[in-house]
Chain A
C-alpha cells in the first residue's frame, strides 16, 4: 500500500477514551469510562507499530498476542481479533477495564518511548464489547480426556483455569461459595468501574464452554478438598479462593456501629446492591462524613462509592500521595470527583455516641523515613502530633488476607502462617499431590490479571499432571 512513500509519522498522543463528566458520574453508579467507538479504535490501532519482537507481550502476565489482535482491529476483522485475544485471555472485557496496563503491556510499548504508548487496554475492551454486542463465538469442543477437575472459587484465577482446562477436554466443576459467580469482580470492584452485567457475561461464557458452575458451595464445609479427591472423583483441584478475610486496624472502638471493613461496605454495595435500597433488600447505613482508611485500589473504590451515595469523604493514608498504592488512573478519577485526602495520618482510636455509633477518630501525624529495600518509604508517628477528626462512618481498607476455611480443613496443605497464604511453586503446585492454587490465596491481595496469570500457569501444569497420570 504505502510502498516507497516516507514512513507516516506516529501520532504521539493516544486517542482519549470518553468518560462521564465528574460532576455527573459522582451522582450515579454507571460506568465512568465509556469505551472507544469504532472510529476511535481504528485511529488508536493505527498507532501500533506491529513490532517484530513485541515488547508489550512480555509485559502481559497471560501473554496476550497484542500486536496480532490490534492488527485485526486495523483490518476491521473484529471477530478474528476477539478470537486471537481469547486464545490467551478468557476475560477480555474485565481485563480491558481493570488491568493496570500502564505498569504492564503499555509500560513496555515502543511507541511509549516517543509519546503516549498504544492504549492496549482500551483496544482490548473495544473488542470484548464488540463481541458482547455481536454474540459469543464458542470454540469447537476438544475430545474429552475423561479426567475430572475441581475449581474452588469462581473469581479471576478460577475462571481462567476453568476455561483453559475445559478447552483442553477435561470435565470441569467450579465451586463458588457465593450465590453468584465472579468472585472479587462482583463483590469487590464497583459497578462504575466494572459493570456487573459484563462480569455475568464472562461467567456465562465460561459456562458455555462447558464448565459446570455450582453456586452456594463453600469448599471446606460442604465438601473438603480431600473429600473431593477421594469421593468426588476429582483427579486434580485448583484452589482460587482469593483473599477475602478483612484486616482490621486493632485500635480501640473498632467494633462501634458505623465502622465497616472495606469488604463489608463493598459487599453491601456491589454484591447486594445496597445503593438501590430499599428496592433491593440489603441496607447500608452511611453517614454524611465518611473516613476511608487506606490508600490502595480498594480504598479508592470505597471512597468513590461513598461519594456516589452522597457523603463527604476523606481518605486517610499514612504515607503521602506519591506512595499511594492505588492505580494512578483511579487516583485521578477520584480526585476529579472531588475526593479529599488527608495524607501522613494514622488512626489511634475511635469514639462513639451513647448508642454505640462512631462519632470521632483520634489520629496521629506521621512522617516519612528512608526507603526500604523495595523502595517503599518507611513511616513513623510524630510524637505529640495527635489530632481528632469528626466522623460518622469509618471504612477500614487496609488489606485482606486469604480466608482460612480451606487451610483449616485440608490436612497436609502447607501454608504461610504469617500471611495465611497457601504455599505454591512457580506453576501453582501445593504440598499435596494433584492440588494446585493460585491468585490472591497464594500471593496475598494483588491484581485481577496476576490472578489470571496464576490460573493459566496452574491450568497448564494440571493438564500435564493429569495426562502423565495413569
Chain B
C-alpha cells in the first residue's frame, strides 16, 4: 500500500516568503527529476516549510527513504501564486488524499481571516485518511468521505445535501483531479464560487516548458505561473485528466525498475 509522508525541511529563505497555495520544486540526485509539491506548512520563525507526498513514483519513494538530518539537493520556491485569502464568510474547504495537508494550511489561513470554515476530508478508504484531528481543530464542522465508504460518507453525493442545508460563500478544493471535477460540478449547480488547485505535470515550474498548460474558460493558461489556483467552473477537466496520463508508462517503468533494484543509475536503495 502506498504511503504518505510529511516532511518538514529547513529552508529559511523560502519559509520567509511562502504563502498558502504556493508550491516548491524538489530535485534530488544528479540524475533526479524535478517534482512539484504543494507547501503544507510554513514556519518563518523556525525557518522551515513542510510538504506531504504520496510514495507512488521513483522520486517520491526515494525521498521517502530519507531520514531526519539528511538534506535534499535542491528545493526551488516558493512558486506559483498564493491563494486568495480574505473574508468571504462561510467557506467550504475540501481536501482529498495527500492534498489534505496543504488544504488544511489554507483552511487555517481562511479561519484566521475571519471566515467560518467547514472542512471535508476525502480519501480512497479509511487507511488513506489523514489529519482529521488537525482538521477538527480548525473547522466549525468537519465531514469525512471515502470512496469505498469505509469511513464517513461514501463518495461525495452528500455534498449536495450539505449545500441544500447550508449556504456557502466560497469553496476551495485541493485533491485528485477527478475529485475536484466532481466537487466543481456539484457547486456549480448551487452557484458557489469554487477555486481548485491544479497539479498538472510540471518540469521547471516557472513558465518555461508549458507542459502544465490547461484550458480555463477556453483560454490556455499555465498551471505554474497563472495558477495553480483556477476557477473550478471554468477548467477543462477532461483535457487535464488526459494530459496527466501522458507519461504514465514511463513513470511506472522508473518506479518498477527502482522497486526491483535493477535501476542502472548506480544509486542504491539504501
Contacts and interface: CB of A to CB of B under 8 A. Distances in A.
B209 A216 contact: no
A272 interface: yes
A267 B203 contact: yes
Residue from B210, B214, B249, B257 having most chain A Cβ neighbours under 10 A: B210
A278 B256 CA distance: 11
Please report whether the interface of chain B is mostly helix, strand, loop or mixed according to DSSP.
Answer: mixed
Contacts of A222: 13-14, 17, 77-78
B137 interface: no
Contacts of B214: 255
A421 to B, nearest CB: 15
Nearest to A223: B17
A265 to B, nearest CB: 9
Interface stretch (A105-113, A116-124, A281-289): A281-289
A218 B76 contact: yes
A261 interface: yes
Contacts of B31: 273, 276, 279-281
B198 to A, nearest CB: 13
A377 interface: no
A222 B59 CA distance: 25
A404 B74 contact: no
A222 B27 CA distance: 17
Please report whether the interface of chain A is mostly helix, strand, loop or mixed according to DSSP.
Answer: loop
A246 B210 contact: yes
Contacts of A272: 33-34, 203
B78 A221 contact: yes
Nearest to B73: A179
Contact of B242 (A264, A267, A356): A356
A267 B34 CA distance: 11
Interface string B250-270: 110110010000011100000
Contact of A178 (B77, B204, B211, B254): B204
B58 interface: yes
Contacts of A260: 211
A267 B204 contact: yes
Nearest to B263: A278
Given A216-B75, A216-B76, A272-B33, A277 B250 contact: yes
A357 B245 CA distance: 10
A466 B113 CA distance: 44
A328 to B, nearest CB: 28
Interface string B214-240: 110000100001000000000000010
Contact of B243 (A244, A255, A277, A403): A255
Given A245-B207, A248-B210, A261-B210, A179 B76 contact: yes
Contact of B250 (A177, A179, A273, A283): A283
B27 A179 contact: yes
B58 A218 contact: no
A237 B27 CA distance: 28
A408 B34 CA distance: 25
A395 B243 CA distance: 16
Residue from B206, B251, B253, B254 having most chain A Cβ neighbours under 10 A: B206
B105 interface: no
A281 B17 contact: no
B17 A221 contact: yes
Contacts of A257: 242-243, 245-246
B191 interface: no
A229 interface: no
A182 interface: no
A439 interface: no
Interface in A236-292: 244-246, 248, 254-258, 260-261, 263-264, 267-268, 272-273, 276-283, 285
A285 B208 contact: no
Contacts of A280: 31, 33, 265
A446 interface: no
B74 A216 contact: yes
A177 B242 contact: no
B251 A283 contact: yes
B246 A258 contact: yes
Contacts of B213: 248, 255
Interface string B6-23: 000000011001000000
A257 B77 CA distance: 28
Nearest to A179: B74
B257 to A, nearest CB: 6
A382 interface: no
Interface in B50-108: 58-59, 73-79
B208 A245 contact: yes
Contacts of B211: 260-261, 264
Given A267-B203, A405-B225, A281 B33 contact: yes
B206 A264 contact: no
A405 B17 contact: no
B114 interface: no
B208 A246 contact: yes
Contacts of A217: 13, 76
A102 to B, nearest CB: 30
Interface in B151-174: none
Nearest to B220: A248
A187 interface: yes
A215 interface: yes
A264 B210 contact: yes
Contacts of B207: 244-245, 403-405
B82 to A, nearest CB: 10
Report the 10 A-B pairs with minimum CB-CB distance, sorted nearest first.
A283-B250, A356-B242, A216-B76, A281-B33, A264-B209, A257-B246, A261-B210, A244-B208, A280-B31, A282-B33
Given A245-B207, A285-B247, 16 more contacts: A177-B204, A178-B204, A216-B76, A221-B79, A222-B17, A244-B208, A255-B239, A255-B243, A261-B211, A264-B209, A264-B210, A272-B33, A278-B253, A278-B264, A283-B247, A403-B206
25 contacts: A177-B204, A216-B27, A216-B75, A216-B76, A221-B77, A221-B78, A221-B79, A223-B17, A244-B207, A245-B207, A246-B208, A248-B210, A248-B220, A255-B243, A261-B209, A261-B211, A263-B209, A267-B204, A278-B254, A278-B264, A279-B265, A281-B254, A356-B246, A357-B246, A404-B207
